[in-house]
Amino acid sequence: MVFSDLFFIFVFLAACFVCYFAVPKIKVKNAVLIIFSLIFYAWGEPTYVVLLLLSAFVNYFAGLVIEEHRNTGKAKAAVTVAIVFNIGMLFVFKYTDFFIENINALLKTSIPLTGVRLPIGISFFTFQIMSYIIDCYWEKVDVQINFFKLLLYVSLFPQLVAGPIVRYSTIEKEIDDRKTTLKDLSEGATRFVVGLSKKVLVANALYSVVGELLGSYEETNFIGSKLVGQSLFGTVVGVICFALYVYYDFSGYSDMAIGLGRIFGFHFNENFKHPFVSRNISEFWQRWHISLGTFFRDYLLYVPIFGKRRKYLSLFLVWFCTGFWHGASWNFIIWGLYFGTFIFIEMLIGKKRMKKIPAVVSHIYSLLVIVIGFGIFYFENLKDLGNFFKNLVCANGNALIDPFSKSTVLSSLFLIIFAAVACTPIVPCIKKRLYATSRGEAAAVCVTAVTNAALLVLCVIMLTDSTNNPFLYFRF
């Protein structure tokens, strides 16, 4: 079940709201959310819901051992077992076939692939529960002695399958004590509609453009009687559209998750903060997929390696893991190390020197690195990835521009320009100015209500003939 689905919006979500707000006690509300969350996950993963429950139980038990044997060897053993279990589960279901394929390629063996299907959202809920158990060991949060409250945290459906990665500390108090105000309902609903619109009206349209411009490099286009590869223009604009697509698809899901959480009284942290306006790559990763970046920063960057903290080795490890987390493919590892290399270079230059670089130059540098990075992200086949780099320097004998790419871009020009402008802080700045005065605030409230209604109607129309709207990060 996905958020951008009419059944989810008008049946599942409506039923959940009715049951949730019909009961007064917080314990019963929590029970309603657990039941609907398990139904939500089991709808697409009827077998793997057992895996979700097992993960919650193992880490719950480990937390109890940590609490009972605080500052002893048993507590250390408990957190170690829990981490090994969590990472082991992730490796078994996500990376087993990747390692088998590489062993077969390296040693010329014929080990059969397992064919294990990746459980939806395993990377997200595994990292969430790991953050809980580590924070318990570090005494940053209290150990949850009620299994069902911990299960609520792990299974909460708004952020279960594609993030953001919510820390237990973020919602620890709200599990037992929360309320939904009219402001929560209004802002939560607005956030949900905005996220839905990002996905349905912008991301889906951009993906069609990406498919036309990039497709597969095994395919070629005819220009007259000459067979050529993709042009430089088509390659560059295609990757720009893909970068915008990933942003609107993933930030759209995050907006919907944050909005739904707000309606239920939970306040999740932001996951995106206008990343494409960044002046350097370090800033980009402070604005892009924030929950993942802070997870690796807090739990991996400062971990002692070989007995003490090793700054640059830890940096390499973080970016290797960032890439590998995204998928069992070499292009993701290259992608992670690619960004890690630029952050390493920026560290050597220093923050003060980086700030002295003219803003225009900084923004151009950042956008170039980011766009090329998304090209690496897109092409999982290394041969296609090599052709991508060749096309960027016209080493494939490709033209600077071809009629097909030109026609495709011109037909989608308004969409591309709108997507590029709307991902900047322009709209929030306008909204902030309107809210600066009481008259402007009243006008903004009316405009928001009308806009929400119009966007929802447009999304429903677009979804009527749509059969499948998966989010990109469901893969991870």
Q: What is the pLDDT of residues 31-80, one digit of tens each?
A: 999 999 999 988 877 888 999 999 999 999 999 999 999 989 999 999 99
Q: Describe the crossing of helices 330-349 and 382-392 by its angle, rounded to 10 degrees.
A: 50
**Residue 44 confidence (pLDDT):** 73
- Catalytic (active site) residue 69: no
Q: What is the pTM of this model?
A: 0.90
Q: What is the pLDDT of residues 260-299, one digit of tens each?
A: 999 999 999 999 999 999 999 999 999 999 999 999 988 8
Residues 331, 388: contact at Cβ < 8 Å? no
* Residue 27, token pair as written in the block: 């314990």
Q: What is the pLDDT of residues 182-226, one digit of tens each?
A: 889 999 999 999 999 999 999 999 998 998 888 744 444 433 323
Measured in Å, how far apart are the chain's first and last C-alpha atoms? 16
Ramachandran bin of 441, using left for φ above 0, alpha for ψ from -120 to 50, beta for the remaining angles: alpha
Give the closest residue to 250 by CA, choosing from 362, 112, 374, 341: 374
**Which one of the listed residues 69, 289, 326, 363 is annotated catalytic?**
326
- CA-to-CA separations, 188 to 88, 158, 290, in angstroms, rounded: 36, 12, 20
**What's the chain's Rg over C-alpha atoms?**
24
For residue 222, give the H/E element and its range. strand 221-223
